[in-house]
Structure 1
Amino acid sequence: MAVTPDSPVSEEVSLTEGVGEVLRAATSRAVTEVSLRQFTGGASKQVYAVDARDETGASLCAVLRRDPPGHGDADRMRAEAACLRAAAAAGVPVPAVLAAADTAPGIDAPYLLMNMVEGESIPRKLHRDPEFAPVRERLAGDLGRVLGLIHRTPLDTLDLLDDQDPLEAIEQIYRDLDEPRPTVEMGLRWLREHRPPPRRKALVHGDFRIGNFLITPDGVRAVLDWELAHRGDPVEDLGWLCVRAWRFGASAPVGGLGTREQLLDGYAQTTGFRPTAAELHWWEAFGTLKWLVLSRFQAERHLSGEERSVELAAIGRRVCESEYDLLAVLGLFDESVAVPTPFEPMVTVHDRPELTEILDLVAETLTEEIAPTLTAEQQRQRFLLRICVNLLGTASRELHAGPAATDEVTVLLGELGCDSETELAERLRAESLSYSDKEIRRVVSLAVLSRLQVANPRYLK
């Protein structure tokens, strides 16, 4: 995942020393000063910026990726290093691997040490900053050309990569969550019924999206984060790049940067073949369902008690965004539905400010009075503060909405002979109901829209 700089590492002296030793061995230079700065926003890896100097005073900049100590996956890290080396040999812009191993003193986990590449990955800057205007209109084609290079990478050194069927893999993750959802069941059935013939297997990046590559005004400088790479259908990467979640609020379908036609044009220039619109649509639908399931999977880490986290908790409330996107990309969202008018507030013995007013006031105070006091070095605190403010807004909107939407969904489910959305999902899975039925589309659309109006009403604009 993409990351943003945070505060300096203060107590991990042994890690600093260990990185210094690895850097000395990798560069054959007498490294005399090493400092680390951890990044925030990574998913399963710990990522550090490495700033060092040699005996001449010359600067050495690198990036360390390691598994959390005690939770390492050496095979996966070896595969990531192999992908970077193979992709580099094929002409893909990637950071150069300086060192990689299952462990090292002080690092104490499988790791990768790479050279630092300059460039921007923050979506809003790529979408809006004037300095990227010259490259912005051609980026979709450039990304298609880069994907073509990735997919032409020889597989002879990549035996470590898995080649599991991606639809079966994501369905298994969903089943293991043991939370049947009508939208997922509808999506799975549509995907099985419309699956295109497979392409010849290639190196698939697995998370090729805005945020995971570095851009300068000259173009794409580096493709990052290869931890999900595998062997599979190359069109998977193209579809993933088109998923709405990776547009970050911009309207253009390819990462908020360009058109699908530009993407396919660039891809064809590198590979000599052009996937069909139907193939790209199927893989975009698959990617949307995949992100829905993975979002719910991430939230489960908090909900199960495994990892208490306000960030993961917030993700749980955003699953409805992907539900909405999935219904939309499949053409199954019922545009006629509308969220019921909220009930009037109940009479209460409590004084004002009312509960919703309290939540709104706290959110306003955090945003307007506390957030501006945080320094640039307090990126993590700023990030968490934004999440807390968003959750307060969700709570306020849910209290204001009352039970009207839940009551209407319950009535519509009853007309279908179902007590709950779970029962509807189970009947869709058993194929005793048709996912294209008008009344099913209506109740599922209403449930998703009601959740979205509370969780993130701006998503509908």
Structure 2
Amino acid sequence: MDSTFLAALKAVLKRQVTGFRELRECQQLTAGASQETYRLLVATDRGELRYAFRRNQAAGKDASNLGTVGLATEAELLQLAAEAGIPVPEVIYLLEERDKLGEGFLMQWLEGETLGQRIVRSESLADVRPRLARQCGEVLARLHAIAIDDDALAGLPAVTPAALVQETWDSYQALDIPAPMIDFTARWLLDNLPVNSRRTLVHGDFRNGNLMVDESGVVAVLDWELAQIGDPVRDLGWLCVNSWRFGISDLPVGGFGTIDELLAGYQEQSGIAVSKEALHFWQVFGSFWWSVATLNMAASWRSGETPSLERPVIGRRSSEAQMDCVNLIIPGDFDPPDPIELDQGTQLPMPAELLEGVRNFLQDEVAAADSQRFGFLAKVAANSLGIAQREFLYGPALALEEQERLAALLGKGSLQRLRRQLSCQLRDGMALDSDGLAEHLRRTIAGQLSIDQPGYSALRFSRANP
């Protein structure tokens, strides 16, 4: 770890932590595109104390995360939230220019589970899971009741539902990657905007994965960097997006609860009844937004702005969110590609077999090594190779079928030209109920998802000939 960084951090701790003796541990937990989080173990006259430290990366802000609030504002939001009875870590010190560590803050270290997969499956949380949805509703009601005329909120972006949809759609179009289902969903959203929506503080990323949970329930609401002023139902809908259920699709609230419990907790605390129709809109928007955000992350990797093993794999997750949009607004049956066994051909080994060998090595041996970081990266690498392998096996047949459907809709042309043509026609007002359009989109996204992530829960299908 950089010695200059550690020296500056120790200087801050010496000034701000009473009885400071030494920094015994500084472990980097996350290295997001724009922010870093560290766990600190500090020796003091009172014994060992743990803290969390967040700061902006020195490289600056990532274009794929435009719209995030600064860490100084995030610290103020945490303080406001604590005053409103929302469980959050206590902010201990806000960095100043003299600290030479950039923008950031030191905060209380809390114990609890933050990994969404464990929250929905851990035996130790089995008793509390049925209560989490109602607790989340109560927490969001308190959050949305915070007065938005507070000086700390003056710099937050304020957006209407229509502007939010359009800005997200514009962000996708700027990538110049034709994905007709994204255009279709944007059109649907603009045709179904909420009427007379309220205007409150919105967390912006309230979901399983940004909550800390223990046996008593929600310990803390984390990651306030996407906070804004807007429609509060957005937070409720985002919590119900399928991407954040971690495979437990029959429990739509974070993979741990029901919508009835969520809305009951919200109404009990706020006195406001949220309709399931309003919630549905924001569920669709959440999957739409995530489908675009993942593409933006991949674009930042492709441009060289954010080198990462994970970013290109995250970009492939766009098909997951697009499939969620399919199931929400144009549900229906679809067939996945038939299973294909690895072709042994006349050579030994064939390309797909080479990929299989490397993927198994990464997944079964490297990922099981002692290093937690390299184990995680090995799993990411194995996932990348799995995608490439499935693309190699299924891609040509799926592309041919997609081109044939597009030709029936639009006329002859290359696959790339027809994809772009369909996107353009959707942007120009093509009727969303055009003959064959919904079926084409449903089959196309299901096929792509069978390559990108065949185990994703949205890929529920019924075969024509079981």
| Partner residue in 1 for 2:356 | 360
Corresponding residue SS for 1:138: helix
User: Counterparts in 2 of 1:225-240, with a 5 A limit?
Assistant: 225-240=223-238
Structure 1 residues 188 and 21: alpha-carbon distance in aligned structure 2, compared to 1, 3 A threshold: same
| Partner residue in 2 for 1:162 | 157
Instruction: From 43, 46, 56, give the equivalent of 1:67.
Output: 56
Corresponding residue SS for 1:128: coil
**2:278 partner letter:** E
Distance 2:131 2:223 in 1: 23
Q: How far 1:193 sits from its partner (Å)?
A: 1.0
Distance 2:306 2:142 in 1: 38
Q: How far 1:365 sits from its partner (Å)?
A: 2.1
Q: How far 1:198 sits from its partner (Å)?
A: 3.8
C-alpha contact 2:12 2:99 (8 A) present in aligned 1: no
Q: 2:291 matched to 1:298?
A: no
| Partner residue in 2 for 1:441 | 438
**2:41 partner letter:** D
Distance 1:365 1:298 in 2: 27
| Partner residue in 1 for 2:288 | 289
Instruction: From 94, 99, 102, give the equivalent of 1:100.
Output: 94
CA RMSD of aligned residues (A): 2.2
| Partner residue in 1 for 2:463 | none
TM-score between the two structures when normalised by the length of structure 2: 0.89
C-alpha contact 1:103 1:111 (8 A) present in aligned 2: no
Distance 1:61 1:346 in 2: 54
Distance 2:21 2:227 in 1: 33
**1:457 partner letter:** P
**Structure 1, residues 292-320: CA drift from partner, whole Å, max 9, x if none?**
01011111112223333221111122211
User: Counterparts in 2 of 1:3-402, with a 5 A limit?
Assistant: 11-40=1-30, 42-54=32-44, 56-71=45-60, 76-101=70-95, 103-107=97-101, 109-155=102-148, 156-157=150-151, 158-165=153-160, 166-251=164-249, 252-330=251-329, 332-335=330-333, 337-339=334-336, 351-372=347-368, 374-375=369-370, 378-402=371-395
Corresponding residue SS for 2:443: helix
C-alpha contact 1:196 1:279 (8 A) present in aligned 2: yes
Distance 1:75 1:147 in 2: 19
Distance 1:57 1:181 in 2: 58
Q: How far 1:218 sits from its partner (Å)?
A: 0.6
Unaligned runs of 5+ in 1: 1-10
Structure 1 residues 198 and 384: alpha-carbon distance in aligned structure 2, compared to 1, 3 A threshold: farther
Aligned residues: 442
- The alignment-based identity, stated in percent, is 34
Distance 1:53 1:303 in 2: 43
Distance 1:189 1:72 in 2: 30
**Structure 1, residues 122-163: CA drift from partner, whole Å, max 9, x if none?**
122211222111111111111111111111112213112110
| Greater displacement, 445-454 / 242-251 | 445-454
| Partner residue in 2 for 1:8 | none
C-alpha contact 2:212 2:218 (8 A) present in aligned 1: yes
